Amino acid sequence: MSEYASHDKNGVSVGVVEKKFFTFAEPPNEMVLESGARLGPITIAYETLGELNADKSNAILILHALSGDSHVAGYYNEGDEKPGWWDIMVGPGKGIDTNKYFVICSNILGSCMGTTGPSSIYPKTCKPYGFDFPMVTIGDMVAAQKELIDHLGINKILSVIGGSIGGMQVLEWFVKYPEMIASAIPLASSARHSALAIAFNEVARQSIMADPNWNNGDYYSGSKPDLGLAVARMIGHITYLSDEAMRQKFGRRLQDKKDFSFNFDADFQVESYLRYQGTKFVDRFDANSFLFITKAADYFDLGSSKGSRLAIESRENVDTKFLVVSFTSDWLYPTYQSKGLVKAMKKNSFDVSFCEIEADWGHDAFLLPNNRLSSLIKGFLDRIYYERAN
């Protein structure tokens, strides 16, 4: 099954990572969303690495965060400049070893990277959905992922792994389909958004909706709300870093000049960095997707009884094992939130390991090279895999 293999980081061709598509929920059998609305057809973009073994016991599902996609690792073509977004963790011999495991990563519902979202064509109008797209929840994203896993013929996933909003999906997988997952690794995540996290998301959304080009979500045939989306992304970037990370990375260093401009140019490197991140983002991401996904994250609440979500509670015949990881300088999903989750799990006699990793890089730490994190995940997966094989 060479189609599942990838190039390694040295450019040695060991196969090709290919974006694949799976479509379901064709009318009249649309998916019923948590809001009660119906959505269909739904196409899921996904990629796989490694090989599925004969008894289909080595599958790992990776769940991405806000702006991620299915391209988790490897290169599409030899000579590509950048590998997938978690290439430091996923690949031959890495923390999630594709020589050993079959890795699946799918683009989330509501996104704009191949899976159905507000920029997809609405069959009813033959135009992009825009704000005709229904509100989707973390639960809806996971229900769609479950359709893909069924389609791949996998009954039990060795591990579901994700950071940030990906971690919310990990927790939702346990709530919805505990019998289907042998283990779960939520990284830099939370059982629910704090008021602070909601506040940042809301201001970012307001920035997009304040851009006249946003036009109530109907902009696909004209100018896009690039300025509003860029500011939204800048707000996000501040929350992904930490005070300490910014001090180390930028401090008060000036950009390309020896003194202040005494005008509104980007004097400081941190200003220049943010402007660059904002501008770069609008080329690859859809403003409406930003709105829908951040709202889904704000709605997520593991302790709520709304929709299909249930509090973490004892379940019969469920043996899912957890590894919960937080990072010291993450102030978007601070350690105390992970600890609260772990406490609730332990109270219900779950098999849960917890680790707070020392890192200066804020919320983004889970995406950055970190030997501690790699070996932690590797060791945990090896234990789960070994226990299930014996």
Give the interface with a second copy as residue ranges (CB under 8 A): 35, 37, 134-135, 192-196, 198-200, 202-203, 205-207, 209-212, 227-228, 230-231, 234-235, 238, 241, 243, 246-247, 249-252, 259-260, 262-264, 266-268, 270-271, 274-275, 278, 291, 295, 298-299, 301, 306, 331, 334
Residue type, 9: K
Q: Considering beta carbons, is residue 333 or 350 the nearer one to a second copy? A: 333
Joined together, the tokens standing for residue 32 give 């019923």
Residue with smaller CB distance to a second copy, 21 or 336: 336
CB of 270 to a second copy, least distance (A): 4
Indicate the residue among 105 and 208 with the shorter CB distance to a second copy: 208
The smaller minimum CB distance to a second copy, of residues 48 and 207, is found at 207
Q: Which of 69, 330, 360, 364 is catalytic?
A: 330
User: Distance between CA 147 and CA 253 in Å, rounded?
Assistant: 50
Would you call 164 a catalytic residue per the annotation? yes
Q: Is 284 left (phi over 0), alpha (psi -120 to 50) or beta?
A: alpha
Tokens of 360: 């200066």
Catalytic residue, candidates 6, 111, 119, 164: 164
Closest CA to 117 of 140, 83, 99, 94: 140
Nearer to a second copy, 255 or 374 (CB): 255
Q: What is the DSSP string of 187-235?
A: ES--SB--HHHHHHHHHHHHHHHHSGGGGGG--TTS---HHHHHHHHHH
Q: Can 363 be counted among the known catalytic residues? A: yes
Pick from 41, 66, 46, 70: which is nearest to 285 by CA? 66
Preceding peptide of 41 cis, ω within 30°: yes
Q: Residues near 296 by Cβ (< 8 Å), separated by ≥ 6?
A: 110, 135, 136, 137, 138, 140, 141, 165
Active-site residue list: 164, 330, 363
